Amino acid sequence: MTIHFHKNDLPDGIDFGKSVAVDTETQGLSLVRDKLCLVQLSDGRGDAHIVQPNRETYDCPNLKALMANQDVEKIFHFARFDLAVIKRDLGVDATPVFCTKLASGLVRTYTDRHGLKDVCRELIGIDISKQQQSSDWASDELSDAQLEYAASDVLYLHQLKTILTARLFRENRYDLAEACFKFLPARAELDLLGWPDIDIFSHHLRRAT
């Protein structure tokens, strides 16, 4: 594995092909408070590119262009959060989308464990470390352990997508998954606008507190 670390933006000329694995790191999980700190990317061939954008300006045209490129599929694990953060701070819709967590929920119905660590362990026999998950991602100087953790969140998403896609077809749920993936940008927009935990499809809508 080679980790390429980029300050501010992706360099010119990097080609991820037709699909890129994507993850983000923020200071926390609040879409009101916690800003985007890192964007991790991989083409699925063993390398990872980690971009640390300027959090004052988010002036990263190459990264934004990649995220907005409709010819490049973005593979996430729990895309709902990443799409919201990218929309809020980079100002782009990172579509089209494949979400391995959503796919897992649709086919691994024998378990409620759909975190990346659990899915990787079962489907590809890889045990990824979550030791650096709670970490200061806003630091100007990131440790090797932080970079390795950030990279591990994207290195295996292409493999997971292949396995989960086969299971979606096996269970005749691929069309359903695709409809869910297409809805994800709207779900992320609802989160940003203040409907994170309210089921707007429910007959009895409760008021936000």
* Domain at 2-193, CATH class: alpha beta
Q: What is the pLDDT of residues 134-169, one digit of tens each?
A: 689 999 999 999 999 999 999 999 999 999 999 999
pLDDT score, position 68: 98
Give the count of alpha carbons within 13 A of 164, CB side only. Answer: 28
Proportion of the chain above pLDDT 70, given as a percent: 95
pLDDT score, position 129: 75
pLDDT score, position 135: 84
Closest by Cα among 81, 100, 71 to 168: 100
Q: What is the pLDDT of residues 89-137, one digit of tens each?
A: 999 999 999 999 999 999 999 999 999 999 999 999 999 876 656 689 9
Residue 161 is encoded by which pair of tokens? 């997508």
Average pLDDT along the chain: 94
Which residue type, as a one-letter code, is found at position 201?
A: F
Residue 8 has pLDDT above 80, yes or no: yes
Residue 74 has pLDDT above 80, yes or no: yes
pTM for this prediction: 0.94
pLDDT score, position 1: 77
Residue 183 is encoded by which pair of tokens? 């809805």
Residue 37 has pLDDT above 90, yes or no: yes
